[in-house]
Structure formats: C-alpha cells, structure tokens
C-alpha cells in the first residue's frame, strides 16, 4: 500500500510452499523484489536454499535489489535459525528488521542493512520522511541489547508463544480437523487453509458474530484467491482463551455447514 502511494507499480509474483516462481519473475520488468523469506507473510512458508540462490541470481542478472523483510523470525519453535539472504549477496539485498514483533509495534523502531550504494540515498529519504527516529528510544534499545536483555527477553517469551501455538494447533486438530494449518514453525501467527465447502468471507463473518476475531487471507493477496484461509494471531491470547475461541469458531462453522441461522448471529 505504501509503495503504491509513492507511485511505485506493484506486481505480484506467485509463491509456492517454499519458493518464488523465478520463471514468472523473469518475465516481469521489476527493479525490486520484496520478500519475507524466513516466514512468508502471511502463509508462514520458508524460502528454500535453492529459491534463495535463484532470486539472488535473478537480482544479479537484472541489476535489481531484493528487500529482505525479516520481520518475525526471532520467535521460532521447531526449526533451526535460517540464514538471511543478505549474507549471500550483501551488494544486492537490503535487509530490514523491526522491534515490532519482538517488543511492541508502538515502539516504531526498525533497522536496515543496506548495499553500500544505497546508504546515502536511504539516509536522505529518511531525513525527508521524518527527520530521523527518536534518539532516546534508540539509546535505550542499544543498552537493552548490549546488556543481553534482548536475548533473555526472547528466551523468556519463546516457550510462552510456543505453548500458545501448541494450544491453537491442538484445538484446531480437535475441533476443526479439516482446516489445514501451515507456517507454524515460527512467528506469532499461523494460516489455516479452508476446505472447499467453506467460503472465507462467510467464515470470518460467522466467527465475528460468535465473538471471534479472525482475519481472512484474501485482503493480503495480490491476485484473486484460489483457496480460502484464516489468519490466527496467537501471541496475546491465553491458552484457555485460544481453546474457547476455537470452540466458538467450530460452532460458527457448524452453523454455516448446517445451513441454518447461526445461533448467536
Ligand atoms: C510483513 C511485515 N513486515 C514488517 C512488519 C513490521 O512493520 P513495522 O516495523 O513497520 O511495525 C509487519 C508487521 O506486522 C509485517 O506484517
């Protein structure tokens, strides 16, 4: 959205479970590729090693830049850390990190590791955009990092989020076994694909009528949907509330499937 307001033309590139379709990319006249390779937003897919090499080769051949938006890889549960694409091609990749997922979105601090040639233009653009981020906040964060508190914070929270994720995955398996969760190994949300008989918009509305806030995947697509899906953010919900929420969602979906009026609508 922001790119569009800046007058950039946005084009979607098809992505699979662990890849970007480089053939499709080759056909586009793109100068910049934006990726969330360690936890694709929103599906949670991880870009494979082959796909990483392929996009770097594409960028080199085209003299293009890759923006690696590494927004929520710090919380990972069942997988080893994944190296950044930036490490493969520091001259081609602008790496972006944020404190929004690990600390709080309202902190409004993030960071970029840029190819040398982009440092000056980015500094100039940042100056025009907001004249720079708050110095006290940056110093506080630097101190937090230096004292090892940030690492301790991640270690403390990882089991909390893992337990919430496990509660969500278990409740989905128990109450809504034909929804297919994906991207569960990291991050603070998961996507569950809907079976063909369920319409995403109807499910989201029925869930809301039952008091459950769950988002559909459609607003995040560039191309029209081929399959419906629900996005579950679990970081700020207790395990018991997660179980209750899935019970309510299961009731809402049962109401849709029976074709009758939803009991609480
Ligand atoms: C794909 C993606 N990138 C980055 C961010 C973080 O953005 P910001 O650092 O502006 O809060 C988010 C936030 O949810 C996101 O979904």
69 lines ligand 1 (CB under 6 A): yes
The stretches in the chain having pLDDT less than 50 are 265
pLDDT at 65: 97
Q: How far apart are CA 30 and CA 9, in angstroms?
A: 9
Contact status, residue 109 vs residue 150, Cβ threshold 8 Å: no
Token pair 């074709």 is found at: 259
Q: Nearest-5° angle of CA 228, CA 231, CA 237?
A: 150
Is the link from the previous residue into 251 a cis peptide, with omega within 30 of 0?
Answer: no
Quote the ligand 1 centre to 174 CA distance (angstroms): 31
Quote the ligand 1 centre to 48 CA distance (angstroms): 22
Contact status, residue 61 vs residue 89, Cβ threshold 8 Å: no
Dihedral sign computed on CA atoms, order 191, 157, 18, 63:
positive
Q: What six digits make up the tokens of 115?
A: 């190819």
74 lines ligand 1 (CB under 6 A): no
Ligand 1, atom 2: nearest CA belongs to which residue?
71
Q: How far apart are CA 141 and CA 109, in angstroms?
A: 9
How many Cα neighbours within 13 Å face the side chain of 264? 15
Ligand 1, atom 4: nearest CA belongs to which residue?
71
The pTM assigned to this predicted structure is 0.93
Quote the ligand 1 centre to 71 CA distance (angstroms): 6
Q: Indicate the top mutation candidate among 98, 105, 236 to test ligand 1's pocket, ranked by most ligand atoms within 8 A of CB.
A: 98
71 lines ligand 1 (CB under 6 A): yes
Quote the ligand 1 centre to 110 CA distance (angstroms): 9
Q: What six digits make up the tokens of 211?
A: 């008091």
Ligand 1, atom 3: nearest CA belongs to which residue?
71
Contact status, residue 35 vs residue 20, Cβ threshold 8 Å: yes
Say which residues have a Cβ less than 8 Å from residue 244's Cβ, sequence separation at least 6.
none
Q: Is 245 exposed, middle or buried (0-12, 13-18, 19+ CB in 10 A)?
A: buried
Q: How far apart are CA 183 and CA 40, in angstroms?
A: 8
Q: How far apart are CA 25 and CA 55, in angstroms?
A: 9
Ligand 1 nearest atom to the CA of residue 98, by list position: 9
For residue range 29-68, list pLDDT tens digits in order. 899 999 999 999 999 999 999 999 999 999 999 999 999 9
H/E run at residue 25: helix 22-27
Residues composing the chain: 265
Q: Indicate the top mutation candidate among 15, 71, 108 to test ligand 1's pocket, ranked by most ligand atoms within 8 A of CB.
A: 71
Ligand 1 nearest atom to the CA of residue 41, by list position: 1
pLDDT at 84: 95
pLDDT at 168: 98
Nearest-CA neighbor of 185 among 72, 101, 99, 104? 72
Q: How far apart are CA 122 and CA 112, in angstroms?
A: 9
Quote the ligand 1 centre to 79 CA distance (angstroms): 22
36 lines ligand 1 (CB under 6 A): yes
């Amino acid at each position: 959205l922001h790119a569009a307001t800046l007058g950039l033309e946005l084009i979607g590139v098809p992505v699979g479970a662990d890849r970007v379709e480089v053939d499709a990319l080759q056909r586009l006249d793109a100068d910049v590729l934006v990726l969330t390779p360690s936890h694709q937003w929103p599906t949670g897919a991880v870009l494979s090693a082959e796909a990483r090499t392929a996009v770097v080769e594409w960028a080199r051949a085209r003299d293009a830049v890759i923006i690696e938006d590494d927004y929520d890889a710090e919380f990972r549960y069942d997988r080893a850390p994944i190296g950044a694409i930036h490490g493969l091609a520091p001259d081609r990749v602008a790496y972006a990190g944020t404190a929004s997922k690990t600390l709080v979105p309202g902190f409004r601090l993030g960071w970029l590791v840029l190819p040398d040639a982009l440092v000056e233009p980015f500094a100039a653009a940042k100056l025009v955009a907001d004249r720079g981020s708050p110095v006290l906040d940056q110093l506080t964060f630097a101190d937090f990092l230096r004292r090892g508190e940030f690492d301790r914070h991640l270690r403390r929270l990882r089991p909390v989020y893992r337990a919430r994720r496990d509660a969500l995955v278990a409740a989905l398996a128990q109450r809504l076994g034909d929804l297919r969760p994906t991207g569960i190994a990291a991050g603070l949300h998961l996507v569950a694909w809907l079976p063909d008989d369920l319409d995403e918009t109807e499910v989201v509305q029925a869930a809301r009528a039952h008091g459950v806030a769950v988002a559909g995947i459609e607003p995040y697509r560039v191309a029209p949907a081929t399959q419906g899906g629900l996005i579950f953010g679990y970081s700020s919900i207790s395990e018991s509330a997660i179980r209750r929420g899935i019970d309510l969602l299961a009731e809402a979906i049962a109401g849709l499937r029976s074709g009758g009026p939803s009991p609480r609508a």
